[in-house]
Structure 1
Amino acid sequence: MVLSHLVELSETQTIYRSSIQDVTNTSYHRHFIELVEDPDVFSGSQDGAFNVSADGFYFGSTTSDNSISQLRTVSTSPDVSFDLTFDLSASILFNGGLGGLFQWGGSQTAEWAMTSGYTSGSIIRDGQSIEFDPERSFTWYDRQWLYGDASALNWTWFQLHTDSSRDGPGEKYSIWIYGGDVDQHQFATFHSSKRVDTVLAVKSFEPFGEPWQSSVTNNTYEQHWKLILQDDTMLTIDSIHGDQEIFSGTAGAYEGFVEFHGFDSLNRTIEGFGLVEITPV
């Protein structure tokens, strides 16, 4: 698995995070974080265009009109080196079933994902270039933007991919658990292999086991979770590594690779992999 992530912290600060995780040998994990202090880093990403670059990375369009129909992401860090191109060629998952805003604590946010775009390129591992097989590779491309202040929010978000061997393209879950106002909110958007979105309440969300504590920020991050959805889908999710924190210099958050297993609404065994994002209280 490869992660390439941009987060705009303020008008002058942006964090870039890249990671590589071997899913066949989970002991192999590398990550790279850079804090970019440049008010113009998004100057090439206006009016539908997308081009962001700084020392060590690039994320943006490959097309002459700078559209997002095809994107390229590059990391040249010695620890995390890759060059990937992917098409926005798959169906769209709308979080909450909405194409627009939904309430997010005291603010509003919008989020959509292209869950399985056609992907090509290569990564460098231990000095050797490994080419992607486009017929067996895909990219989840996620965009979220916010109207208001998220600083009072705490959240856990999961991006999950089920094994695709059972029935065509794998099924996807985008699962939100967040607080910060009066109540905690939790829902899942399920994207079926037939490209239909279903929004489900999260009936139960229970962290368990030992959390991981950062020696840098002193933040504590849960590592294991049990979820039950409205349709009685049951998932057990486990972080693959403890140390997957993002640190901006003033605050910390967590973005880590996960594995999961469980049972779907028809009591069939499911398993897969994905990502968790945690912002503590």
Structure 2
Amino acid sequence: MNSHKTTTAHPVLFDLSADLAPTASDAGDSWWFASRLRDDDGDIYWTKTHVIQMGESYVSTVSVLRDSDRRADERHTAEPAAEVKAAADRLDVQTSLLDMSGGPDKFTTSGATDDAAFRLTLRRTEPALYNGGSGVFPFLGGRTGQLSLPGLAATGTITIDGVERNVKGRTWFDRQWIAGPADPPRFLWFGLDLGDGRYLSVWDTTGDGVSWLTALKPDGTHVITGAQRTAHEGGYLLAIPDLEASLEITYRRLDATEGDSTNVCTVAGTFAGREVTGHGYHDIVGASGPETARHHA
């Protein structure tokens, strides 16, 4: 996927409404919400709720990071399907750690760790991002479907140490399934919000710095092209010649399990020849580096 392709009207293989529900995937269903939030005093918080369904089990993650002191709190659990409330025909999942429901234009999600909890209402006002243009692409020797709603408007509350705060911000929602993987998981992913309705979903499945990405423009236009990622301590330089883009990405950990983690990002550089700043999320699986991470499925 290194050739440059721009499309405004394109066939999609991922149904925004119907495919939010669980699939018959043999390898995994995933629902992932990550948010950057601000309270009334201007303090920044990052949150994540994530559920993976694999056969007869559900794996859940809830995490919270406070920017001011980098305080992070997280919980992970695996539960049998019989102990999880999950609808078969829509997005409506409740585990012991979290719940998520709704779509395609309004969602709710909430989660709790030992010392923090949050509840968010999310509203969609922008186009969906269909990764690869159609929403389905080859992956790990099989195939995957990935639909992103990267600019949901978030409002709600966050409670830390018993103190509740009103918050608002932006949420990236990813719905993904995987079928027929033949290769061991090894990849990097970035979800970047550059503001003004501009988003990048970047994949590197080789680990050599060569990436492909789907760029979403405010009018719904998708651009699929290549990029080159150069790693350095605590970040990356992402060069995208076809988009006249050079982005400096710095990141820090949001949550981790053994051998992997999810990171939050700040972004600065040029895009379409103009200066931009933004934020995003960064996951890695099966690769070594200063931090390791895990993507949605």
1:4 maps to 2:48: yes
Aligned mate of 2:222, from 182, 197, 209: 197
Determine if contact 1:153/1:179 at 8 Å carries over to the other structure.
Answer: no
Q: CA deviation at 1:9?
A: 5.9
Q: CA deviation at 1:68?
A: 4.5
Q: CA deviation at 1:236?
A: 1.4
Identity %, equivalent residues = 20
Structure 1 residues 87, 150: CA separation in 2 closer, same or farther (over 3 Å shift)? farther
- Which residue does 2:27 correspond to in 1? none
- Which residue does 1:81 correspond to in 2? 117
Q: Which amino acid aligns with 1:21?
A: L
- Which residue does 1:97 correspond to in 2? 133
Q: CA deviation at 1:138?
A: 2.6
Q: Match of 1:40, SS?
A: helix
Distance in 1 (CA, whole Å) between partners of 2:182 and 2:279 is: 27
TM-score, normalising length from structure 1?
0.76
Distance in 2 (CA, whole Å) between partners of 1:79 and 1:198 is: 42
User: Which has a greater percent of strand?
Assistant: 2
- Name stretches of at least 5 consecutive residues in structure 2 with no aligned partner: 1-35, 37-45, 288-297
Structure 1 residues 170, 68: CA separation in 2 closer, same or farther (over 3 Å shift)? closer
Distance in 2 (CA, whole Å) between partners of 1:139 and 1:39 is: 27
1:30 maps to 2:76: no
Distance in 2 (CA, whole Å) between partners of 1:41 and 1:198 is: 42
- Which residue does 2:232 correspond to in 1? 208
Deviations 1:188-238 (A, max 9, x none): 111123332211211x211112xxxxxxxxxxxxx4211111323111111
Distance in 1 (CA, whole Å) between partners of 2:84 and 2:210 is: 31
Distance in 2 (CA, whole Å) between partners of 1:160 and 1:200 is: 15
1:175 maps to 2:182: no
- Name stretches of at least 5 consecutive residues in structure 1 with no aligned partner: 62-66, 210-222
Q: Which amino acid aligns with 1:16?
A: S
Structure 1 residues 46, 179: CA separation in 2 closer, same or farther (over 3 Å shift)? farther
Determine if contact 1:245/1:255 at 8 Å carries over to the other structure.
Answer: yes
Deviations 1:169-206 (A, max 9, x none): 342111111139xx98621111123332211211x211
Greater relative CO (CA pairs within 8 A, separation 6+): 2
Give the number of equivalent residue pairs: 242
Distance in 2 (CA, whole Å) between partners of 1:238 and 1:84 is: 26
TM-score, normalising length from structure 2?
0.73
- Which residue does 2:245 correspond to in 1? 233
Determine if contact 1:245/1:254 at 8 Å carries over to the other structure.
Answer: yes
Distance in 2 (CA, whole Å) between partners of 1:156 and 1:173 is: 14
Q: Which amino acid aligns with 2:219?
A: K
- Which residue does 1:46 correspond to in 2? 88
Q: Match of 2:54, SS?
A: coil
Structure 1 residues 44, 15: CA separation in 2 closer, same or farther (over 3 Å shift)? closer
Determine if contact 1:160/1:274 at 8 Å carries over to the other structure.
Answer: yes
Structure 1 residues 193, 21: CA separation in 2 closer, same or farther (over 3 Å shift)? farther
- Which residue does 1:132 correspond to in 2? 167
Distance in 1 (CA, whole Å) between partners of 2:217 and 2:83 is: 36
- Which residue does 1:277 correspond to in 2? 283
